[in-house]
Amino acid sequence: MNGSRQPICWSDTEGREAALIHTGPSRDLRVDIFRGLALWWIFIDHIPANWIAQFSLRNFALADATEVFVLLAGYAAGIAYGTAYQRHGWLYAAADVVRRAWTLYIAHIFLFVVFSAQVSYSATALDRSEYLDEIHLDVLAEAPYRAMLEALLLSFQPAYLNILPMYVVLLLLFALALPLLSRPLLLAGLSGALYTVARLKGWNLPSWTGGGWYFNPLAWQFLFVLGALLSQHPRRLLAVIPVRVADVAAGLVLVVGLALVWFVWPSDDLSARVPRLLTRLVILVDKEGLHPMRLVSILALTWVLVRLVPFDAAWLRSRFAAPLVLCGQHSLAVFCAGIFLSFLGRLVMEAQDGWWAAQAAVNMVGPVILVAVAALSAWYKTKGRATPDRASAPLALATDMPALSHPGNAKVT
């Protein structure tokens, strides 16, 4: 390795996920840039009538930003905490995972308080009570004290505020599963069994408003675990299916997904033209329990993108990609800011008479603010700190999928 290379911090908060990795050819910026893209998609998808949302992932596949976010979160956790477990044992690594979960919990509570105040004030000032109904904050007026308690217990999750609670639970489950990282087939089998039972039996965590959690962590943990196993045992996992077979299968999955999104779902009389069983199969692709078609879709996307986008692609280090990379490196701060900005963007679009002017203002100013938040977060992380020791290995997916290198030597701080 070139001794002049300076390490930078790959993480969005302090904690064990702050893995130090090199810039230059040893760093896989695809992880950062796709997490940055997921954050942008979350921002634009949360704004009703946002024209540019037509170009988000959900309009081209049976998956969206949530699947991207969870898969990459599992990948990052596998590297950071898997390495800590190998070096220091379960108690040490699990303590770091719990600390990270606590950080996310605090961020969620802060987000809940500020977002609830934002929506409630807007609904009152603009006489738009439908805001409270749509965001599911109407119960704050009916039972405010109980609502606050249930929010602290994560059993009350208004709309837009259900990703971080799921992430907290996924990390806590991962802390228990750390010893099984060295036995990938067993861990994948147990995780897959829990996913299957949760879907078939309807297992979910209880919700105060009924119906269980919007993102069922007992199902979504499977995608998180697959991401973690991919970071630790890439060769074993990717050798299960021959490369050419995987290429064809992934392409077929993406084509079927695109056909469903563009041609099947928009059909008004679909239920009258196809058998009921087939209708249930192609329409009820639920997001809450991570429908198998959504799971297969994100795995196919991952395979295709890693195969098509080289590890050392020049555009990954271009000025064009830099804002997305920066946002991906500081995802927690950017995610929280994006939730506030998405509702603010909705208010702007509804208040402006000029449709194009409102669209342009929201979709140009919003991303700039998100990048500024990421830059500020990066500045705070490095302000007044000495340059840390150089990492010994990258957070990376290699270009040649069957020959993915094991990142177990990555240094974490």
Distance CA 68, CA 57 (A): 10
Distances from the Cα of 102 to the Cαs of 98, 99, 107, 380, in angstroms?
6, 5, 9, 20
Count Cβ atoms within 10 A of the Cβ of residue 100 and give its class: 0-12 exposed, 13-18 middle, 19 or more buried. buried
Distance CA 136, CA 161 (A): 10
Distance CA 247, CA 255 (A): 12
Count Cβ atoms within 10 A of the Cβ of residue 53 and give its class: 0-12 exposed, 13-18 middle, 19 or more buried. middle
Cα torsion through 206, 208, 212, 215, rounded to 10: -110
The number of C-alpha atoms within 13 Å of 16 and in the hemisphere containing its C-beta is: 26
Q: Is pLDDT above 50 for 329?
A: yes
With contact defined as beta carbons under 8 Å apart, do 335 and 111 qualify?
no
Mind listing the pLDDT tens digit for each residue in 213-222?
999 999 999 9
Tell me which of 405 and 97 has the higher pLDDT: 97
- Assign 181 to helix, strand or coil: helix
Residue 25: pLDDT band with limits 50, 70, 90: very low
Residue 355: pLDDT band with limits 50, 70, 90: confident
Residue 110: pLDDT band with limits 50, 70, 90: very high
Distance CA 295, CA 363 (A): 29
pLDDT of residue 407: 37
Q: Which amino acid, one-letter code, is at 298?
A: I
Minimum mean pLDDT range among 21-35, 278-292, 330-344 = 21-35
Q: Is pLDDT above 90 for 227?
A: yes
Average pLDDT over every residue of 362-386:
90
pLDDT of residue 312: 83
Q: Is pLDDT above 70 for 376?
A: yes
Q: E strand or H helix at 208, and its extent?
A: none
Q: 155 phi and psi, to 5 degrees?
A: -95, -5
Distance CA 252, CA 62 (A): 13
Mean pLDDT of the chain: 84
Distances from the Cα of 32 to the Cαs of 12, 44, 248, 372, in angstroms?
11, 19, 27, 16
- Assign 313 to helix, strand or coil: coil
pLDDT of residue 370: 97
Q: Which amino acid, one-letter code, is at 212?
A: G
pLDDT of residue 301: 95
Distance CA 170, CA 191 (A): 12
Distance CA 118, CA 347 (A): 11
Residue 402: pLDDT band with limits 50, 70, 90: very low
> Which residues, other chains included, contact 85 with Cβ-Cβ below 8 Å and sequence gap of 6+?
92, 93, 94, 178, 179, 181
Distances from the Cα of 84 to the Cαs of 9, 106, 177, in angstroms?
17, 23, 14
Q: Is pLDDT above 90 for 262?
A: no
Tell me which of 15 and 242 has the higher pLDDT: 242
Residue 389: pLDDT band with limits 50, 70, 90: very low
pLDDT of residue 306: 84
Mind listing the pLDDT tens digit for each residue in 308-327?
988 888 899 999 999 999 99
Q: Most confidently modeled of 221-235, 263-277, 386-400?
A: 221-235
Residue 210: pLDDT band with limits 50, 70, 90: confident
Mind listing the pLDDT tens digit for each residue in 40-67?
999 999 999 899 999 999 999 999 999 9
